[in-house]
Amino acid sequence: MIVLLTGKDRFRLVRRRTELKKGFLAKYPSGSIIIIDASTDPASVSRKMLEAGSADLFSSECLLDVREALSLPDDDARAISDAIKRLGKNASMVFSQTDAPKAKDKLFGYLKKHAGKVELFEPLSSREAESFVIAEAKAVVPGVTFSRSALAKIISVCGTDSARLSSEAVKIAQFRGEGEVSVQDVDLFLREDSHEKVFVALDALVSGNRGRALELLLHEARSDSGGIHKLFGLLAWQIRELFKVRGEYDRGNMRADDIARATGMKPFVVGKLLSRMGVFSLSRLKSGLSLLADLDADMKIGKIEPELALTLFVEKL
């Protein structure tokens, strides 16, 4: 049987691949697993597959773990397809790729038709992320539950990064034990990162609350060793992310999942940025980047004090 695993959520994909291998060895304790990684030697994949078969390893139950081979050139893809046919229907194989293969990729097309099972691991949506947190927590503490505010806080800090969500859910569940996780429990383990704080400050700024925006930005600059120079870099990065979303939005692409696929950003992040498109106009974003560049240059030559530069940015944007 052939199992095909693809998708950009590397953590969930790799975990599923590990589960399949453990299941295989549980069923066949004397079996063996051969890992063939196309990212290190793409031209040898078909040869190594056939060598495994010619060594009669499949008579004693062998699983081929073939990685990152779905987007190889057509000639290599045909050779692998031929190897699959020669090994026969009784061969056990797991093909996995930790990105999104293209529909035109020959081996991907072949495996979609012939694999006994196809599993896709796309980045989680916000709602899926909440369900994922609950499932991960209950796997270690079956009686644990989460308040709505606790779940919202976890997603706001971790986004939809499944690896981090799993890690944090397990830690929080083990701390809380049976019962409901509160937002206060979450605060013991999670703090918003600098990118999130900068977004909150920008949101306050474009919403007209300049005093609150300056307060947030000064607090972040003073509490980080990188100071205002690092903060200006974070502000520029955040504005560029808004540019990406603004560009897709202005082209008529208004769904978070579609914009995430087009830009490579996480759907959760896109959703937050989309909600503020009304106040983040293209002209305002352009002037924000230009203003940051001018003030940063003045800071570097000592023409202006850093905190004054930050104040002027807040006042002029």
* Residues forming beta bridges with residue 64, ordered by sequence position: 34, 93
- Of the residues 120, 139, 159, which one is the last residue of a structural domain? 120
Domain count of the chain? Answer: 3
**pLDDT tens-digit profile of 92-101?**
899 999 877 7
Retrieve residue 81's tokens: 């397809």
Q: DSSP label at 221?
A: H
Handedness of CA 208, 244, 233, 197 (dihedral sign): positive
Retrieve residue 270's tokens: 């896109």
CA dist 281 and 286 (Å) reads 9
Find the domain containing 307 and state its range: 194-316
Question: Coil, strand or helix: which one is 299?
Answer: helix
**pLDDT tens-digit profile of 96-147?**
998 777 878 888 888 888 888 999 998 888 889 999 999 999 999 999 999 9
Residues 236 and 289 in one domain: yes
Average pLDDT, the chain: 86
Closest CA relative to residue 82, chosen from 105, 54, 49: 49
Report whether pLDDT(251) > 70: yes
CATH number at residue 284: 1.20.272.10
263, containing H or E segment: helix 256-263
- Of the residues 98, 120, 142, which one is the last residue of a structural domain? 120
CATH number at residue 64: 3.40.50.300
Retrieve residue 105's tokens: 């990729």
* Residues forming beta bridges with residue 74, ordered by sequence position: none
Q: Alpha helix (H) ranges present in 55-161?
A: 74-87, 106-114, 126-140, 148-158
* Residues forming beta bridges with residue 273, ordered by sequence position: none
**pLDDT tens-digit profile of 264-274?**
776 667 777 77
CATH number at residue 168: 1.10.8.60
Report whether pLDDT(199) > 80: no
The pLDDT of residue 59 is 56
